[in-house]
A and B are shown apart, each in its own frame.
Chain A
Amino acid sequence: MITLTINQQPYQIEADPDMPLLWALRDLIGLTGTKYGCGVAQCGACVVHLNGEAVRSCVTKLSRAAGQKIVTIEGLSKNNDHPLQLAWNEVSVPQCGYCHSGQLMSAAVLLRENPNPTDQDIDNAMAGNICRCGTYPRIRKAIHLAAELQKKEGEAK
């Protein structure tokens, strides 16, 4: 039995400890917002937060994830209102949308560690996430907007 804490919710699953977290999330637990894209840590569609870091769940074994704090796209915010989600919606970033769970989870770490990212910081954080539809210009724009929203949110508090 493996215990996972996902989006603050405990889950007990019976699975091979070598199974990648991705498949446990999608097939065993039913959190399908995290996507399979490449299986070898190339595309970033499967990014989730493991103790706050943007790990690629396709290569993260359950044995590493067990007992740790996991956040998936479903848990990034309660009402789709993380500054990044608001910005993504405002800028209409996605096309097909398949990569954007991963894009958002990667961007969330960037914004937490660097509330005022430059274009270079965005490249440094986001070059691991592939978007086949080519929404990169909008991802860039939305991250800048999210940084502003986050700042305003902070000021309001």
Chain B
Amino acid sequence: MIMSIILTMVGVMAFAWRSGSKKEAMLPLSALPLKKDSIASVKAFEKVYRVLMSPRCMNCHPSGDIPLQGDDSHLHEMFPKRGKDGKGLFAMKCGNCHQPSNTPGKHSPPGNAEWHLPPANMKMVFQGKSAAELAKQLIDPKQNGNKSMKQLLAHSEDGLVRWGWKPGEGRTLPPMSHAEFKKAWETWINNGAYAPKSNQ
């Protein structure tokens, strides 16, 4: 059972992999004009990793099928489940409580029109992942929703991603500004999307 003594509610930043055009989705990684600078890339990913592992992002990328809540990332009260499409199950669909925008009040449900978890066939787990594991997972089209690098690049501007920086009252922001995150994200990808060494 969950003793939730936490005053802050859900904080979530889901990576919403909207599938791009078919053509783009088919682009192989090698087709992208990438600089190969593993040092710059890995260094940028350190920042990316810090953001992705912050509660605003990780809470909707749980290792199980129940999202997390609060700055301490406890299991979401009332145990809503992922469901096939990541949008919940039966009477407990994300959008039943999470509105198109944050509901005012410190403990009211945060909201975004796209509110959801990654789908069941592409769980994109952050929780418990090392930087190396997460980086590899992010660029693997088999795990990232068939995302091309171009689509991946654009993803830092996704609406649900951006929500992380406007999470509503009482929720801690990610550890850097969105601009800084975006820059790190792009630096990481544009320099080859290298994964840190496994022990990092």
Contacts and interface: CB of A to CB of B under 8 A. Distances in A.
Interface of A: 40-42, 47, 53-56, 59-61, 64, 105-107, 109-110, 113-114, 121, 123-129
Given A41-B109, A59-B99, A127 B90 contact: no
Contacts of A61: 99
Contacts of B107: 40
Contacts of A124: 79, 81, 89-90, 92
A107 B28 CA distance: 46
A38 B133 CA distance: 41
Contact of A121 (B78, B90, B99): B90
Majority secondary structure, B binding face: loop
Contacts of A121: 89-90
Interface of B: 77-81, 89-93, 95-97, 99-100, 103, 105, 107-109
Nearest to A126: B91
Contact of A109 (B78, B90, B95, B109): B90
Contacts of B108: 40-41, 59
A110 B99 contact: no
Contacts of A53: 93, 95-96
Contacts of B109: 40-41, 59
A17 B189 CA distance: 43
Closest 7 CB pairs of A and B: A106-B91, A125-B90, A41-B97, A54-B91, A110-B90, A109-B91, A125-B91
Contacts of B79: 123-124, 127
